[in-house]
Amino acid sequence: MQNFENFLLDNLPVSKSIHPTYEDALHNMLVAGGKRFRPALLLGVVGAYNSLLLDGARHAAYAIELLHTYSLIHDDLPAMDDSPLRRGKPTLHISFDEVTAILVGDALNTYSFEVLSNAPFSDYTRVQLIRELASNGGLNGMVLGQAIDCYFENRPLKVEDIKFLHTNKTAKLIAASLKMGAIIVGKEDLADKLYDFGIKLGLLFQIQDDILDVTQSSEEAGKLTNNDEDKNSFVTILGLDEAMKEANELASELNLEMANFDENLQSELSPLLTKYINRHKN
């Protein structure tokens, strides 16, 4: 992912105004690291089928990371999770103030689509990519999931409702990352299959996060842990043992599906996916 990190650093949003901290705040969370999991998925799919498109694909990968970063900034706000730590550093509303954090989140949200609109693809491809990012990251995707998560805090949901919550809040953006990679290389027959795979992967990712929330320290996780007691997490509803069982079953299913990927896709994605599919077992 070094090439992506370089691309990110070379394309940080630039602000020219009289505001003393706005530009620093814009850069704060973007340069704080993170898994870069979603960009890696998109670039892995593109690399599997047409490495000549990787330079252009970094625009789409960056757009996804911008949108994801905005969601983390807002997720940590006092009105939502009220978290003081993210990616091993103080959250934006702690480093600066709540107003700045809200506005930076808003800015990164809209900037993600500006970046995507300037990606060096055909108009047809750009519109498809913008549609995928908007529909999965917006009102019928990530934002819907966050709304459900916040509204039902301290109100336990059924397991199927928790899956619906986290399909929207977490899984759809992961699924969109894979599908957008397929769109870039013109593999529209593969796009929906990868999206379905990504939904399962995203659910596993969330179950793992819920497990790690109760098994890791804040220092290990890079964010506040043991903070989900009032949330509808898989661990709070199912218990740790049942959540581990759900994670193991999903991991086995995903490993079987991954074994049916063609050779190029396996070669590109297996190292990354194997690491994350099994991370709850470490």
- Find the angle CA(162)-CA(167)-CA(172) to the nearest 5 degrees: 165
Q: What is the CATH number of domain 2-275?
A: 1.10.600.10
* 30-46 pLDDT tens trace: 999 889 999 999 999 99
Model pLDDT, residue 225: 64
Q: Is the dihedral of CA 172, 189, 59, 3 positive or negative?
A: positive
As a whole number, mean pLDDT of residues 226-230 equals 68
Instruction: State the average pLDDT for the chain.
Output: 93
Query: pTM value?
Result: 0.94
Model pLDDT, residue 18: 94
CB 13 within 8 A of CB 26: yes
Q: Which two tokens stand for residue 274?
A: 């194997």
Model pLDDT, residue 220: 63
* 135-190 pLDDT tens trace: 999 999 999 999 999 999 989 999 999 999 999 999 999 999 999 999 999 998 99
Q: How confident is the model at residue 103 (pLDDT cuts 50, 70, 90)?
A: very high
As a whole number, mean pLDDT of residues 245-255 equals 96
As a whole number, mean pLDDT of residues 251-273 equals 96
State whether residue 278 is helix, strand or coil.
coil
Segment holding 246, helix H or strand E: helix 240-259
Strand-pair partners of 86 = 89
Distance from C-alpha of 255 to C-alpha of 273, rounded to nearest angstrom? 9
As a whole number, mean pLDDT of residues 240-267 equals 96
Instruction: List the alpha helices (DSSP H) in 91-239.
Output: 92-95, 98-117, 123-137, 142-151, 159-166, 172-184, 188-215, 218-221, 234-238
Model pLDDT, residue 230: 74
Picking from 49, 8, 14, the residue whose alpha carbon sits closest to that of residue 262 is 49
Model pLDDT, residue 279: 87
> CA-based Rg of the chain, rounded to a whole angstrom?
18
Model pLDDT, residue 33: 86
Percent of the chain with pLDDT over 70: 95
How large is the angle between the packed helices 142-151 and 123-137, nearest 10 degrees? 10
Domain boundaries, the chain: 2-275
